[in-house]
Amino acid sequence: MALDGIVTRAIVHELQSCKGARINKIYQPGDRDIVLHIRTQQGNAKLLLSANPTYPRVHLTQETFVNPAEAPMFCMILRKHCESGIIEDIQQVGMERMIQLTIRQRDELGDISSKKIIIELMGRHSNIILLDPEAGTILDGINHVTPAISSYRVVMPGFQYTEPPEQHKLNPLETTQETFREACLLSEESGVSWLVSAFSGLSPLIAQEIVHRAQAVHNEEKDCGSLWTAFDSIMAMVRQHRYEPVSGLNSKGKSVFSVIPLTMVEEETRSYETVSQCMEDYYGDKAQRDAVKQKVSDLLRFLQNERAKNIKKLDKLHEDLEEAGDADRYRISGELLFASLHMIQKGDKEAKLINFYDEEQAEVAISLDPLLTPSDNAQRYFKKYNKYKNSLTIINEQLIKTREEIQYLESLLQQLAHASLNDIDEIRDELIQQGYLRDRSRKVKKKKKNDKPTLHVYTSSEGIELYVGKNNLQNEYVTNRLAASNDTWLHTKDIPGSHVVIRSNEYGDSTLQEAAQLAAYYSQAKESSSVPVDYTLIRHVRKPNGAKPGFVIYDNQKTLFVTPNEQQIKSMPNTVKNNRNS
C-alpha cells in the first residue's frame, strides 16, 4: 500500500470538484467508515471517508453499502451538524495524510454555522473528527482517544482539538537543490531510508521509485546528484498536479498503487482515469473482507466445533447400531436355553446346544452366568434382546437427526464463506433463534410484520431479476414468501448452497444458465466443475413441518450442469436491497 502525502494531495485535488456540493445523506455502514451522499454540479456522488486501521482512505466510490438498522451516535451527530450542508472547502494539511472538509450549514435557529470534518489517515491511529472551528473544540470523533490512551492529545467531545505530533520533516514540494544536497550529504542512511525519514509525505514506495530512477542514471544507491534529478522530476509532476494513477505488483509480488508512473514495476501495470477509481480498484473488497473475517471468526469456530461434535456422535451411533444389529442373536440364545432347561445346571459357565434355527451351524456355544439358574440365564438374554431391539429405533432416529444437523451446520459454514457484514448478523440471529447461541444484547428486538432480510438481486442478460439467498433467513424469505408459484427455483443437487429464484415465468436459456451459475457459485461446489443444479417451479418446492431454516424438499425437477465462472458472476449487474432506513 502507498497512501502517503502525495496520494493525499492527488485525492484532495480531485475532490475540488466537490466544492459547493450539498450533503444529502450521511451513513455509517461500518465502525470506522462514513459515506456522504452528495449532489455536485456533475450529479449525485458518494464520498467515502474511512478511518479503517488497515485501509484508511478518502475517495469517491461506486460501491453499494449495507447500513445498520440503527445509525451509530457519531453518524447521528454528523447528520445533525452537516446534513443538508454545503462543502465549502477541501484542503490537505501540509503534505501530511490529513484532509479537512469545511461544511456550511444553517442551524436550528436558521443561523449559518461552519463545521470541519478532519480525516486523519494514519494507520491504526486513523480518525474522523467533527470540529467546531470557531471554538476549536471537538464535537465528536469516530474513534475516541481518552487521557488513559494518550497523554499528548485527547479526542473526546468538548476537548480542544490538537493536531497529531509534528514530525519536523522537510516539505518535498518546497525543497531546493541546495537543501536537498546538503541533507543528503550529511545523512549516513541509505537512499530509501533517508528519503522517507527526511521528507514529509513520502512513502517507502515513492522513495524506492526515486532511488530506482537515480540508479538508472548512476549505478549507485545514494548518488546525491542523480537522486535530486529523480526527486525533482517527480515533485514537478506533483506540484503541477500531473497525476497518472497506476497499480501493479512490486518486486516482492505485492500489489501496490501510485499516482505517479512506477518505472520500477517490471510487470504490466494498470492505468486509471481518476485517483478514486485507482483506490477503489486497489482496495476492492479488502476492507470489507477483513471486517467480515474478524466478525465471522467466532461463528466459524463455533460451527466447526459443533460439526466435529456431531461427526463424533455419528461414529458412536454407528458403533451402537452395529452392536444392536446382533439383537436376534440374543433372542435365539434365550429361546435355545428355554428349550433345553433340563440339560443345564446352575453353576455351568457354558451350554453347548443344537441350533435348530441354523441348518449349517449344528451346535452353538452359549455363555452362562454360573450364579444364575438356567431360567434366569435365558431371561437375561431376552432382556438384552428387548434392550437392543428398542434401541434400534432410537439409534435410527438419532442417526437421521445427526445427519440433518451436520448438513445444517455445513450449510451455515458454506454461507459464511460468501457472507457480508449484514449477512453475518442474520446468521447470528438465526443461531440465536434456533437456540445454538445466547442473545447477549440487552435490547429487546421486536420483530415487525414487514421485517425482511437483506436481498441480493442480480439482473440477467435478458433483464430479468434473479434473487439469491446467501443465508437461511434470506433463503426462507426468497423461496417461501417472495417468489410466485410460477417462478423458477434453483439449487445445487445434494450440495449446500444458495436458493436462487428467477422472478419471471418467461425467460430464455441465457437467463437459466446465468441463474444456474449463481446457484453453483454460491455453493460448496464453487471451485468444482460440472456442478449439478436442479431447477423446478416454486409450486413444487415446500418446507416440511419442523424442518430447520432453509431446508426444503422439491420434485418435478430437471438438472443441468455448469462450471462456476467468477468473472461472469462479477460482471452481472447486482444490487443489495434491505428494509433498513438508517
Q: How confident is the model at residue 418 (pLDDT cuts 50, 70, 90)?
A: confident
DSSP of 350-387: EEEEE-TT-SS--EEEEE--TTS-HHHHHHHHHHHHHH
Distance between CA atoms of residues 176 and 232, nearest Å: 9
Q: Which of 2-16, 212-226, 267-281 is predicted with the least confidence, judged by mean pLDDT? A: 212-226
Other C-beta atoms lying within 10 Å of the C-beta of residue 460: 22
- Please say if the pLDDT value at position 19 is more than 90: yes
**Quick check: 373 and 366 in contact, CB under 8 A?**
no
C-alpha cell recorded at residue 77:
451527530
CA dihedral sign, ordered 264, 266, 272, 278: negative
Q: How confident is the model at residue 188 (pLDDT cuts 50, 70, 90)?
A: confident
Tell me 450's DSSP state.
T
Q: What is the pLDDT of residue 451?
A: 65
Residue 201 CB partners (closer than 8 Å, separation 6+): 4, 5, 6, 8, 9, 94, 95, 96, 97, 171, 172
Distance between CA atoms of residues 129 and 96, nearest Å: 16
Other C-beta atoms lying within 10 Å of the C-beta of residue 210: 27
- Please say if the pLDDT value at position 548 is more than 90: no
**pLDDT, tens digit, 9 for 90 and up, residues 452-506:** 788 899 999 999 999 999 899 899 999 999 999 999 999 999 999 999 999 998 9
Q: Which of 62-71, 185-194, 494-503, 525-534 is predicted with the least confidence, judged by mean pLDDT? A: 62-71
Range 394-409 average pLDDT: 89
∠ Cα 506 511 512 (to 5°): 90
Q: What is the pLDDT of residue 338?
A: 86
Q: How confident is the model at residue 329 (pLDDT cuts 50, 70, 90)?
A: confident
- Please say if the pLDDT value at position 582 is more than 50: no
Q: What is the pLDDT of residue 444?
A: 45
Q: Which of 12-16, 222-226, 491-495 is predicted with the least confidence, judged by mean pLDDT? A: 222-226
Q: Which of 142-151, 234-243, 553-562 is predicted with the least confidence, judged by mean pLDDT? A: 142-151
CA-wise closest residue to 7 among 243, 269, 170? 243
**Quick check: 46 and 36 in contact, CB under 8 A?**
yes
**pLDDT, tens digit, 9 for 90 and up, residues 551-572:** 899 999 999 999 999 888 988 9
- Please say if the pLDDT value at position 154 is more than 90: yes
Residue 174 CB partners (closer than 8 Å, separation 6+): none
Distance between CA atoms of residues 446 and 443, nearest Å: 9
Distance between CA atoms of residues 296 and 421, nearest Å: 9
Distance between CA atoms of residues 326 and 333, nearest Å: 11
Distance between CA atoms of residues 267 and 500, nearest Å: 40
What are the φ/ψ torsions at residue 388 (nearest 5 degrees)? -70, -35
**pLDDT, tens digit, 9 for 90 and up, residues 531-540:** 999 999 999 9
Name the residue with cell 502507498.
Answer: 2
First to last CA, the chain: 32
CA-wise closest residue to 128 among 141, 137, 138? 141
CA-wise closest residue to 12 among 104, 114, 89? 89
Distance between CA atoms of residues 446 and 303, nearest Å: 27
> To which H or E segment does residue 306 belong?
helix 286-324
Q: What is the pLDDT of residue 453?
A: 85
* Number of continuous H segments (helices) and E segments (strands) in the chain: 14, 23
- Please say if the pLDDT value at position 449 is more than 50: no
Range 391-409 average pLDDT: 87
Q: What is the pLDDT of residue 578?
A: 65
Whether the pTM exceeds 0.75: the reply is no
**pLDDT, tens digit, 9 for 90 and up, residues 334-367:** 888 888 888 888 988 888 888 877 766 678 888 8
Q: What is the pLDDT of residue 352?
A: 86
**Cβ density class 256-280: b for 16+ within 10 Å, e for less:** bbbbbbbebbeeebeebebbbbbbb
Residues in the chain: 582
Q: What is the pLDDT of residue 359?
A: 67
Find the Cα–Cα–Cα–Cα dihedral 408, 411, 413, 415, rounded to 10°.
-140
Q: What is the pLDDT of residue 219?
A: 67
The amino acid occupying position 44 is N
Structural domains of the chain in order of their starting residue, each with its CATH number: 5-141 (2.30.310.10), 177-284 (no CATH), 290-417 (1.10.287), 455-577 (no CATH)
C-alpha cell recorded at residue 186:
550529511
Q: What is the pLDDT of residue 336?
A: 86
- Please say if the pLDDT value at position 288 is more than 90: no
Helical spans, DSSP H, in 152-203: 177-186, 191-198
CA-wise closest residue to 335 among 309, 307, 316, 358? 358
